[in-house]
Every structure is written in structure tokens, then in C-alpha cells.
Amino acid sequence: MKRDEKIFELIQKERVRQESGIELIASENFTSPQVMEAMGSVLTNKYAEGLPGKRYYGGCEVVDVVETLAIERVKELFGASWANVQPHSGAQANAAVMLAVLKPGDKILGFDLSHGGHLTHGSTVNFSGKLYEPTFYGVEKETGLIDWNKVVDQIRSEKPKLVIAGASAYSRDWNYEAMRGACDEVGALLMADISHPSGLIAKGLLNDPLKHCHIVTSTTHKTLRGPRGGVIMMGEDFENPWGLKTPKGKTRMMSSLLDSGVFPGTQGGPLEHVIAGKAIAFGECLTDEYGAYVQQVRANAQAMNKAFIDKGYDVISGGTDNHLMLIDLRSKNISGKLAENTLIKADITINKNMVPFDDKSPFVTSGIRVGTAAVTTRGLVEADMPRIVEFIDRTLMNHENDNEIAVVREEINAWMNQFPLFKGYEG
């Protein structure tokens, strides 16, 4: 069969783009070569609807072992008693949970998208806001922080069926214990979506949601540094609170409902080549080397936060406990859209992002979101963060000067060549 040179040329261009620039998108990271190797393996050919040992297809004896390894490793990593590693993404994981525990029209309480939440936490343009009745909590205008007493009061007053903890652009830790107490008072389930800080949580650098939340979801890329995908976990399995029975008359456990929420509820056959990549990544996360990595991620974020503040940038909440920060650019008279498009010219990749109480549309925004997971994978440390911020500031302050931006780009490309990616990987 003729090689598709057009596609492979584009793949090579993307490789060069990733290697040449500074990657600061908080939801992106670089997997290890062995994760990419597994994802390009013959496992992509196998259909395996169902669960290990309970498949609807023959020939699953090998992928059963692969998937079981992924399950056992992620349970060990987080201290979970149960996990499903089949969700194709974090959004799919959240969809499966909601299908399993909610009925259309049920009330949910999530973190406001415009304050740093996620689409799947009740946004009206997403399934979560279309199928269910969304209500929201947010941050305080004066501090950029969540007031947990207000969240507790809101849970008590709204009495939702499901409360969602977690965000895509909030730089502080979460008070899962307080949320669980309020949820127990009103009979609500508490789900934590830890897609962003999951790696820091796994290594004990942030509060542990599995001790307090009924259900925990996560992506497997971002700080976990695995393939793009999702996972659902529980600290302890429990009987469903609605008295739903199995065909044999036994009360269904929550794990059974969640499994069925994934398949056949929201997905068909699992992607066993991706699950193999997840298994490898979870194994990598269990090492001391990975523990040192996530400590460096947070140290780098704190160093970058200081450098931005020293340059006069407005960092929402004034600091960070995890790997990211949200920056309000209104004091610099620059929109998020302009910042994103200008920084791309210098081979710096960030994303525009709404900030709390934003006065611009989601297509323009007043802010940017930056994270340190990817640059830390490349080997950069705290001393490198002020240099990155200097590059960002030079570029933004010269957004109308293409010649200066070109100079910055050349400096960045030369610097990044000192931190090669994909060693030993030819894909």
C-alpha cells in the first residue's frame, strides 16, 4: 500500500512545532515514547465491548490483561477501590457518570464556566446544561477565591442531586470535606473532576478527593502525562441510594451503574491501544521519578506566578497551589484573543480564557491560562520561569512589531533545542 506522504509530512510538521516552541497550555503535556508506541500498536485493531472477563467479542484474552493492568495501576496510584479506564475523554467520563446517577431535569450544582469551570459541569451549550437543570457557584470578585461557606450554603439551599467539584482554570485547592458534609445533609452525590491537578493529587501535593467524594473523574493526559483519555474512580464502592435492583433482585452497587454508564450508556467498544497507553502512564506515575516531576511542576508554577506579578500582571487569586494560573490582561489593555494570536507568532502556545466577571465574549476574553506541566516534562526548572515570562512580556508589549516578535521566536527556538523531546521515538 502506498505511503500517505501528505499525512506523514503533516505529522512531522507537528513534531517540529512541538519541539521548537514553549508549550504553556495547561491541559497539554508530552507523553513518554513508550506511551506513543503502545497507542500505535496492533491493539488498535481489537474490538472489546464489555469489561475484562465479560466481553461481547471473542479473542479478548490479551486485551483483558492489558485493561486489568490499567485498572489495578490507577487504583494503586490513587488509593481507589474501583476504577473504569474506558472513557475516551474526561467529558465522556463525566457524561457516563451523569447518565448513571441522574434523570433528565435533575438539578446539578457546578463551578461556573466563566469563573474557571468546565463545559461538562452544567454549561448551557453542553449536554450537562441541556439535559439537566444547572446551577452554579463561583469565586469572590475581591479575592478570586471560592468562599467555601457560601458553597456549603448554596448546596443546602439548592438541594441538587449532584454537586461537581473541580475546574479547568482555578489555581487553588478544593475543600472536598466541606462539600461532602453539605451533600450528606441534602442527600446529594458529590463528584470531583480532577482532570487538571490529578497528578499532584496522586502524589499527595493537594487534598485527596477520594476520601470525601462519592465519585471521581479525570483525564489521563494533563498532569498525569498519559494518552488523551479519561477514567472514573471511587474511594469505596457503595449501594446505589435509589434502591435499584439487579435482575436477580440484589441492590445494584454504584460501580455497576457507572460501568453501564460508560458501556452501553455512552460508548461502544473501548480503545484498547489507548488503554495500553494509560496502563503505561499509570505505571510511570507510580515511580519516585514521577513524584519528583510533579513537585517540580508545582515549584515551576509558583516561580512563574511570581515572575508574572513582578512584571505587573494580574494573576487571579494572586497565586497558585497547582500547575496553572489564570491571568487578567485588562490592566495591560490586551485581550486574550490578541495575546494568544500574538504569542503564537513567537512559538509560545497558550490559550485565551475568560476571567471571573469578564466583560468580553468567550471568543475574545480578557485573560489567558498558562500551565507548567509540559515545560517541566522538557526539563525546565524554577530558574527558567522568569525567562519564559520575559519572552511573553516582550512579545505582548510588542504585539504590533513583527520584527521584534521574530527575534523572540529565534531566541526561543534556539533555547528549546537544548531540551529535546521524543528521544528514541521515530513516530
Q: Which residues are annotated as a binding site for (6S)-5,6,7,8-tetrahydrofolate?
A: 113, 117-119, 361-363
Rounded to 5, what percent of the chain is helix, strand, coil? 45, 15, 40
Residue pair 169/324 in contact (Cβ under 8 Å)? The answer is yes
Catalytic residue list contains 219: yes
Distances (CA, A) of 208 to 149, 229, 417: 19, 21, 38
Main-chain phi, psi angles of 348, to 5 degrees: -115, 120
Annotated catalytic residue: which of 67, 193, 259, 384? Answer: 193
Residue with cell 479575592: 143
In one letter, which amino acid is 416?
M
Catalytic residue list contains 347: no
Tell me 250's DSSP state: P
Catalytic residue list contains 153: no
Annotated catalytic residue: which of 31, 120, 135, 219? Answer: 219
Annotated catalytic residue: which of 19, 37, 46, 47? Answer: 47
The torsion angle over the Cα atoms of residues 391, 290, 258 and 27, rounded to 10 degrees, is: 10
Catalytic residue list contains 222: yes
- Tell me which H or E stretch contains 325: strand 324-328
Cell of residue 89, nine digits: 475523554
Query: CA 351, CA 358: separation in Å to the nearest integer?
Result: 16
Residues making up the binding site: 113, 117-119, 361-363
Catalytic residue list contains 49: yes
DSSP 142-167: TTSSB-HHHHHHHHHHH--SEEEE--
Annotated catalytic residue: which of 228, 298, 352, 369? Answer: 228
Catalytic residue list contains 61: no
Annotated catalytic residue: which of 73, 161, 222, 369? Answer: 222
Annotated catalytic residue: which of 19, 28, 37, 49? Answer: 49
How far is C-alpha 38 from the geometric centre of its chain's CA atoms? 21
Which of the residues are catalytic?
A: 47, 49, 193, 219, 222, 228
